[in-house]
Amino acid sequence: MPNLPDEPSIYPYSARLTVPARGLIVFAPHPDDEILGCGGLLANCLQAGLPVNVVVLTSGDQGGDASVREAESVAAARALAAGSGRAAALPEFWRLPDRGVSADEALVARMAAAIADSGADWVLAPSPYEVHPDHRSASLAASQAFVRALGAEAAARLAYYEVGHPLFANLLVDITACLPRKRAAIDCFESQLAQQAYGEQLLALNRFRSYTLGPNVSHAEAYQVVAAGDMAGGVRSVVSGDAERIRRRLGLD
């Protein structure tokens, strides 16, 4: 029987409240992904005084009225910041075609410019393992933009978040204290909650992510964090690294 790694080398057994960043920028494919995927981390970072920028790529018009969805996203940003003593991180809307996001040069260049203009050194984007095509395209484009904008910065990090598919987590964020604010922000997306219980589903995922964190943590968000130096091959590098870790975990190497 091969010597298998112990549990904390496979999955985090501790959680953070924030991240060691000078600022964060979040790329969300649709209005609500920024809250469902990383609303707890954003709430914690806002409370800690970290600058947060949010870019919503589409207005989600394939899933509802675009103006309604954008208004819900703005209301959610305010709900997330409520009581923190900090200004809300109001989203910027790029209004790309819903279900038509393409990881082309135009989007990569625009994302890279947004990263540089924000001054952020942590970039949050959907996981490449997501199901929705806009999520996967946003992941590919943000990964390339991250390398272009921050690839020379040793402290820069790309953090993938999960919405529609679990990822290979190497960072857990304790959102227990800010859970009421995340719930309140999710509740702002009335048009989407009328179609599907997204809030219930994502908060259930957050509940599950606390599995290794003990009784004092009720909910956590999971991220896959990649250093700039490990992104030379873009998403291909990330996926290859995941495959290697799985082989080691199973003792196949």
May I ask the CATH class of domain 7-249?
Answer: alpha beta
Specify whether the CB–CB gap between 128 and 239 falls below 8 A.
yes
How far apart (Å, rounded) are the C-alpha atoms in residues 235 and 160? Answer: 11
For each of the chain's 253 residues, which pLDDT tens digit applies?
Answer: 355 568 888 899 999 999 999 999 999 999 999 999 999 999 999 999 999 999 999 999 999 999 999 999 999 999 999 988 899 999 999 999 999 999 999 999 999 999 999 999 999 999 999 999 999 999 999 999 999 999 999 999 999 999 999 999 999 999 999 999 999 999 999 999 999 999 999 999 999 999 999 999 999 999 999 998 888 788 888 888 899 988 988 888 7
**pLDDT confidence of residue 4:** 52
**pLDDT confidence of residue 1:** 37
**pLDDT confidence of residue 5:** 60
Q: How many other CB atoms are there within 10 angstroms of residue 5's CB atom?
A: 11
How far apart (Å, rounded) are the C-alpha atoms in residues 50 and 35? Answer: 17
3-state secondary structure of 161: strand
Specify whether the CB–CB gap between 66 and 43 falls below 8 A.
no
Of the candidates 219, 198, 223, the one whose C-alpha atom is nearest the C-alpha of residue 210 is: 219
Domain limits, the chain = 7-249
